[in-house]
Structure 1
C-alpha cells in the first residue's frame, strides 16, 4: 500500500457521519452488524481507489516529463497498487493487466 493511504483513509472518516445509517436503521442485530461492516469496507475501498488514481496520475506526469529513472522506480509501485485493487475486487483483472501493459509500453517507447 502506498504511504498516503492511511492519511486518505482517515480523511474519509467524515463520511461515516453522512452514512446511510441515518436514513433507515436496521431492525435486526445482525443487519446492524452487516451495515457497520459494509460502511467500513466502503471507506477502505474508496481510500484504495483514491490512492490508485493518485499513483496513476503521478506516473502519467513522469511519462510526460520524460524522467525515465523516476518512471522505472514508480512502475512497480503502481503495478502493485493495481494488483491489490484486483485482489480486493475493486478492478477486474483484465483492466489491471491492460493498464500495466500500457505503462510498460510507454517505458519501452521512451
Structure 2
C-alpha cells in the first residue's frame, strides 16, 4: 500500500513528488518489465485458475484477452478464467479480498 501511494504520487507529477523518486520508480518499473520478458519458463502441467482484473490495464490493449492467451499457451492443463474487481494497483485492496473470500464457482473453462 505504501509503494502504491508513492507510485501514484510520483506519477501525478505533484510538487510533493521529487524527480529522484520518479526516476527511482521508473527504473524499478523498467527492471520489472525486462525481468518479465527475460524468462522462458517450462510449460505448466497442471490446471490454472486465472484471476483477471475487470478494470484492465491502460498500457495493454485488450488486457484480459492478452492474459488469457499468454497463460493458455503456458499451461498444458485447463485454464479457468475468473474476473475480479479492480485493477493492477487494487490487488491488495479490500474489494478483492472480499471477492476472493467467497467460494469459487466450479471451473468453467472458456
Q: How would you bin the TM-score normalised by the shorter chain?
A: 0.3 to 0.5
Which protein is richer in helix relative to its size? 1
- In the superposition, the TM-score normalised over structure 1's length comes to 0.33
- In the superposition, the TM-score normalised over structure 2's length comes to 0.33
With a CA cutoff of 8 Å and minimum separation of 6, indicate the structure with the bigger relative contact order.
1
Which protein is richer in strand relative to its size? 2
